[in-house]
Amino acid sequence: MNNLIFQPTIVMCLLSFFMMIWMYATRLPAAKKLEEDGVDVQKFSHPSSIGGIFPSKVERVADNYNHLFEQPTIFYAISFVIWGLEHTDIIHLYCAWFYVIIRIIHSILQATLNLVWIRFSLFILSWVPLTIMIFREAIYLI
């Protein structure tokens, strides 16, 4: 049962991979269009200079891809702690899957409609299962 914690972890990794493909599928054509319009895309070689040059539908996918390397890193870390201490149980599994499902919905919403208040609510909601996982392990270690 202990290795089951890796199922939602792998799904999160697959989500990051899918969002990377989606990001490049939208960003590369947008960059080519900018070049066709006479824009020197080399000027945007620094990430901080990219904001605002692409259409919103392109930028929101890239924004989501970047977000998948923020809060989810805590999910990866706590998943490995749970696995390493052999604490995988039904509560951790439900929390992990709930977290992943929320993050998938968040990614789809941000990359398409980008409704800020719903996206923000999903972000806050995703902290609930993550916090349960963290505190359950913290209590054990204290």
Q: Domain residues of the chain, as ranges?
A: 2-39+56-141
What is the Cα–Cα distance from 92 to 71, expressed in whole angstroms?
17
What is the pTM assigned to this prediction?
0.93
The pLDDT tens digits for 48-91 are 777 788 999 999 999 999 999 999 999 999 999 999 999 999 99
Q: What is the DSSP string of 11-50?
A: HHHHHHHHHHHHHHHHHHHHHHHHHHTT--GGGG-SGGGT
Three-class SS state of 114: coil
User: Average pLDDT, whole number, for the chain?
Assistant: 95
- State the alpha helices, DSSP H only, in the chain: 6-36, 56-67, 71-84, 90-111, 116-141
Q: What is the pLDDT of residues 90-100, one digit of tens each?
A: 999 999 999 99
Distance CA 97, CA 10 (A): 11
Amino acid at 12: M
What pLDDT does residue 42 have?
86
CATH architecture of residue range(s) 2-39+56-141: Up-down Bundle (1.20)
Res 43: pLDDT? 85
Percentage of the chain lying above the pLDDT 90 cut: 89
Do 30 and 58 contact (CB within 8 A), yes or no? yes
Task: Inform me whether the pLDDT recorded for 47 exceeds 80.
Answer: no
Q: What was the pLDDT predicted at 69?
A: 97
Query: How many CB atoms are located within 10 Å of the residue 130 CB?
Result: 21
